Structure 1
């Protein structure tokens, strides 16, 4: 990523840039969905391990 020598006014620190409310809400929604999917995947993995403990597969 190439950043110019002089950032525009208000862009000096990207951690302090205003994020539009609709974008912020969408990001929070996507984050919640991702967390939910990760938890679901984790539970499915644990369920599979409990059904077939390592070393007992045929």
Structure 2
């Protein structure tokens, strides 16, 4: 067995972006959103919002 691990490539911008060049609505975040992301926030900030909502249930 080898000790090498495969790491996914990190892209600074999504490969498939909409023509409107949507960006995350979180203040201070300028990540461009993928055309497949229906939300107004990037994955990191969307997860923070969802986890914050579940804390109040």
TM-score using structure 2 length: 0.31
TM-score using structure 1 length: 0.31
Rg larger in 1 or in 2? 1
Higher-helix-fraction structure: 1
